[in-house]
Amino acid sequence: MSETKQITQEVLDVCKVVHTTWNTLTKVWTLPVIHSLGLKEPARFNELKRRTEGISATSLTERLSELERQGVVQRKVFPDSPPRVEYSLTKKGWELHGILGEFSDWAIRWGNPQTQQAKSQ
């Protein structure tokens, strides 16, 4: 007979952190913005908008602001005339970019129902 194990509060707390982070990352446009920044940095706003096909200026602004608050993106303002703003990934952002690349590989390998069927045979 198998023994039932209880989940500790520590494990529940970790699960909450992972769940909150996952929900933040899976907001619309977050992953494409991180990917676009990882292609070439630093990048200016309109360059990112062109790279992220279909994103509105409002959505890009929201995603960049949220990622900056989370320490994933760095916003650098240059006192030129007119002011110039560049965005880049932080160390934390590059680490996340690498993880997302691995997740992308996994999703491509296992996310397609036809692929899953072929792998199980």
Does 56 reside within a domain? yes
Q: Is residue 48 part of a domain?
A: yes
Is residue 36 within 8 A of residue 49, CB to CB? The reply is: no
| Rounded Cα gap, residues 46 and 93, in angstroms | 20
pLDDT in tens, 77-118: 999 888 899 999 999 999 999 999 999 999 999 987 765 555
Report yes or no on 3 lying in a domain: no
Say how far apart CA 55 and CA 48 lie, in whole Å: 9
17: in domain: yes
Q: Does the pLDDT at position 4 exceed 80?
A: no
Q: Which of 108, 33, 121, 113 is nearest to 70 (CA)?
A: 33
**Residue 116 belongs to a domain:** no
Structure tokens belonging to residue 36: 């676009």
| pLDDT of amino acid 26 | 86
Does 35 reside within a domain?
Answer: yes
Q: How far apart are CA 7 and CA 75, in angstroms?
A: 40
CATH number at residue 57: 1.10.10.10
Beta-sheet strands, E only, within the chain: 43-44, 73-78, 84-89
Tell me how many domains the chain contains. Answer: 1
Single pTM value for the model: 0.80
Does residue 117 lie within any of the structural domains? no
29-77: per-residue pLDDT in tens?
A: 999 999 999 999 899 999 999 999 999 999 999 999 999 999 999 999 9
d(CA 6, CA 82) in angstroms, rounded, equals 60
- Structural domain that includes position 33: 10-109
67 assigned to some structural domain: yes
By the 8 A CB rule, do 96 and 72 touch? yes
